[in-house]
Amino acid sequence: MPVVKYPRAAEPLWHEWDRKAQKDGLRHTVYAVNGDQYTGEWLDNLKHGKGTQIWKHNGAIYSGDWKFGRRDGYGSYSIPDPVTKEYLKVYTGWWRNDKKCGYGTMFYPSGERYEGEWSSGQRSGWGRMCYGDGSTYEGQWLADRPGGQGMLCLPNNNRYEGGWKDGKKHGPGRFFFLDKGQLLEGIWVTDVPKCGIMIDFSRDAAPAPTQYPIPKIELADPDGVLAEAQVMFDDSQNE
């Protein structure tokens, strides 16, 4: 008995549409229902590789690396100036899981700038912050604030070197009053010096030295005084 071959049923049209809609490896421009626009590479229908995203609600633009639908790798984020409409760079650097992570530079609307390490979208690690008043902080950061060891330089060249906690001077440190030619070395608690030793420092080179030099006061055991203060400070932190 002869074998009868029936023609194979035609593939449903929606299969073809679905296959054409798959964006894999190639560059495509896609518009979201909310008006956002993405042009770049795809993998498994997710933004993956190099690409540029434009958000309609604020006109912001990100251009750089993507990984499975999220900003991941190196990229730049900018927003349009509300007056000139020219794009102003906000952040350039590394990303991970859609957040700033690694080394990058942040440009603030006030003109301030941070360059350094990030973690989960916050300044964390080593970094340098240039403030609007002309002062700069360079050192360790934790949870988006100075934390650890760092140096704050003021516009008049006075500076503090030492410990920080929650964005404030905390722990052993030294404050150089270069405008007056003095140095304070001691222990700070939440931005307040609790104890220390003030001495003349480069007084001859100071632009506005005090009228009289600091008189010499001899302590029987100056190192012991500071050591005792350090112990009291450590005990207070452990309470």
- For residues 219 and 164, membership in a common domain is answered with yes
126 occurs within a structural domain: no
Domains in the chain, number: 2
129 occurs within a structural domain: no
Instruction: Name the residue among 75, 80, 116 with its Cα closest to residue 98.
Output: 75
- For residues 96 and 147, membership in a common domain is answered with no
- For residues 43 and 103, membership in a common domain is answered with yes
Q: Which of 107, 128, 153 is the C-terminal boundary of a domain?
A: 107
- For residues 164 and 224, membership in a common domain is answered with yes
Q: What does the pLDDT read at residue 50?
A: 97
- For residues 166 and 216, membership in a common domain is answered with yes
Give the pair of three-digit tokens for residue 51. Answer: 């690409």
- Which residue has tokens 């100075």? 146
- Residue 41: CATH number of its domain: 2.20.110
57 occurs within a structural domain: yes
Q: Which of 89, 107, 125 is the C-terminal boundary of a domain?
A: 107
User: CA-CA distance, 16 to 185, in Å (whole number)?
Assistant: 76
Give the pair of three-digit tokens for residue 30. Answer: 């896609």
198 occurs within a structural domain: yes
Q: Which of 84, 107, 130 is the C-terminal boundary of a domain?
A: 107
Q: What does the pLDDT read at residue 227?
A: 81
Q: What does the pLDDT read at residue 2?
A: 56
Q: What does the pLDDT read at residue 14?
A: 38
- For residues 102 and 155, membership in a common domain is answered with no
Do 31 and 37 touch, CB atoms closer than 8 A? yes
- For residues 102 and 153, membership in a common domain is answered with no
238 occurs within a structural domain: no
Name the stretches of the chain with pLDDT < 70: 1-25, 217-220, 222, 239
- For residues 102 and 163, membership in a common domain is answered with no
208 occurs within a structural domain: yes
201 occurs within a structural domain: yes
The count of other CB atoms within 10 Å of the CB of residue 44 is 11
- pLDDT tens digits along 165-217: 999 999 999 999 999 999 999 999 999 999 998 998 888 888 888 888 888 76
Instruction: Name the residue among 66, 30, 29, 35 with its Cα closest to residue 48.
Output: 66
115 occurs within a structural domain: no
- Give the range of the structural domain holding residue 25, as residue numbers without chain letter: 21-107
